[in-house]
Structure 1
């Protein structure tokens, strides 16, 4: 695949992912179920009143809320769990990788992209290792299945063996269908339900309708799409969110731009200083209002070239 073809394919997959994410499968249900289990455990250990106050405080901080019980916040901000929480962001990004073989975050180099993805996979492994999946009856929760699917794709790409369950996740086939295709000579998949070689699994997957081979190694994030071939004067690159919106001077909250990095929020009053801060980050993150008026965290997946004069005018219009 040529670099241009890879770029086009990436944007098509990214667009399809953003249009379908959360449309049919809801990891948020598993997220809330885990929190409810943790609350019950905490209440038994420390007392219900202590647990209530602690969970209220934690969830308020996680969703940038000053009041409200943790249950109310989760119900009201259900659709913001993916953008407001660390686990939600991880699930969002690894869903794109698991289903579409892409990395959403804009990276400065191939090495950085591999490092970023590898770190996300390790975080998913750590989370699942600490989660009593069977004891808490979470096996069928989308939260668990999508993380397992991402890990399975990574294992295949690293040349590691996978099992029938992991192959079923990757192919979208029923587990019994995969088992029926397993065996020695004469079977489509060489191996057994516990051990399937990566190259065997990949060869079979590539023949399955709907499976998308990974293209994240062919992504060229540093190639910012060119605008019309006209003299734009002095230009600046602004980060673009998955929905196509940009970081512009109008996304102030209480007189400040809210910049996020690794869970740490930074408040900057000047737009140009905030933009420079985002440009210096590996993965730019900022907060912006939704149509409903709530503020949510978004991550930059691309960069757009805009005339500085246009941004200055926007800054002037917004009073920045």
Structure 2
């Protein structure tokens, strides 16, 4: 029986990635096209023989004495991911983008080391893509490998760090068409919320948990091992927090000026500690608390809990970070208006 992507361990994901990595999903193929376009552009400026000599040196082992640089590049274009440094980086980033792993990870490396490397890969790819003259050099019907890889890597990094995610990346992760995603985030009763064009990480993550196409990230704890066993950490102590009608929770990210504001209007109290505030809410007949405005504008308002959610400490912390990042993003966006 074939395993679902979310059930695959580190070694299984690597095998799946390597077996399916070909020209149709290799972002280095776009690099080849960019180099071709750059060489053609230079040939318009300098002497053709000088451009040919320079390009043959630039493309490295792809060139041969009897070929001009275009012929050498065409003959070897599927090997760019192993020849050029950026091609190798994009190859490794693709494993992260699609499978949530760091293919460069070693057994002895700690989480911080892996995180730093992945962050560097994502930032390098994003900044490179921003500089690429794709429309001018490759046109609107260009191959999408590079842009797809960066979109998914950027989206996964957002989810992994509890930041808002682009709907296009969320649709790809969830295996749905963009037209369906637009329907899911629009209307009077959207399945997923969208603010300033982005979706909150905690809502996106909750939706993806039921999508068979999605590989949850395991890079924080998964490392290669000789017996193929992947070590993961679990949280067993549940916490019950009040949930409002719209699905929002009371969480540690709602601290404002050093306190949490709880209680109905006219009877509000300020509590410095989250655990104390949660205990007080649990004793209220109708738990109520203040939270930021949903759209990012206006003052904090009171919301009333209609049910209780069972959640782990790790999930609660992630939820709080997600809401905090979304609020900060919206506030910064409005400052630029």
The answer as to 2:133 corresponding to 1:132 is yes
The answer as to 2:194 corresponding to 1:194 is no
- Map of 1:204 onto structure 2: 207
Task: Tell me if structure 2 keeps the 8 A contact 1:164–1:192.
Answer: no
- Map of 1:231 onto structure 2: none
Instruction: Return the match for 2:158 from 146, 155, 160.
Output: 155
Equivalences, count: 218
Task: Tell me if structure 2 keeps the 8 A contact 1:163–1:195.
Answer: yes
What are structure 2's unaligned runs of at least 5 residues?
A: 1-5, 229-337
- Map of 1:79 onto structure 2: 78
Q: Secondary structure at the match of 1:189?
A: coil
- Map of 1:304 onto structure 2: none
Task: Tell me if structure 1 keeps the 8 A contact 2:97–2:149.
Answer: yes
Output the CA distance in 1 between the equivalents of 2:209 and 2:131: 33
Provide, for residues 103-147 of structure 1, a one-character-per-residue CA deviation record: whole Å limited to 9, x for no partner.
111332222111111111111012111112333336652122112
Instruction: Return the match for 1:217 from 210, 220, 224.
Output: 220
1:188 Cα deviation after fit: 1.5
Task: Tell me if structure 2 keeps the 8 A contact 1:10–1:219.
Answer: yes
1:90 Cα deviation after fit: 1.6
Output the CA distance in 1 between the equivalents of 2:219 and 2:7: 10
Output the CA distance in 1 between the equivalents of 2:75 and 2:150: 25
Output the CA distance in 1 between the equivalents of 2:185 and 2:221: 32
- Map of 2:104 onto structure 1: 105
- Map of 1:176 onto structure 2: 179
The answer as to 2:68 corresponding to 1:57 is no
Q: Secondary structure at the match of 1:115?
A: helix
Provide, for residues 80-115 of structure 1, a one-character-per-residue CA deviation record: whole Å limited to 9, x for no partner.
211111122122111111111111113322221111
Output the CA distance in 2 between the equivalents of 1:178 and 1:20: 26
1:24 Cα deviation after fit: 4.4
- Map of 2:13 onto structure 1: 13
Output the CA distance in 1 between the equivalents of 2:155 and 2:8: 26
Measured at CA, do residues 70 and 7 of structure 1 come closer, stay the same or move farther in structure 2, by a change above 3 Å?
farther
Output the CA distance in 2 between the equivalents of 1:65 and 1:43: 17
- Map of 2:233 onto structure 1: none
1:209 Cα deviation after fit: 2.0
In terms of Rg, which structure is larger?
Answer: 2
TM-score (norm 2): 0.58
Task: Tell me if structure 2 keeps the 8 A contact 1:188–1:204.
Answer: no
Task: Spell out the pairing of 1:19-30 with structure 2 (5 A cutoff).
Answer: 19-22=19-22, 24-30=24-30
Output the CA distance in 2 between the equivalents of 1:124 and 1:174: 25
- Map of 1:69 onto structure 2: 68
What are structure 1's unaligned runs of at least 5 residues?
A: 1-5, 227-320
Measured at CA, do residues 38 and 198 of structure 1 come closer, stay the same or move farther in structure 2, by a change above 3 Å?
same
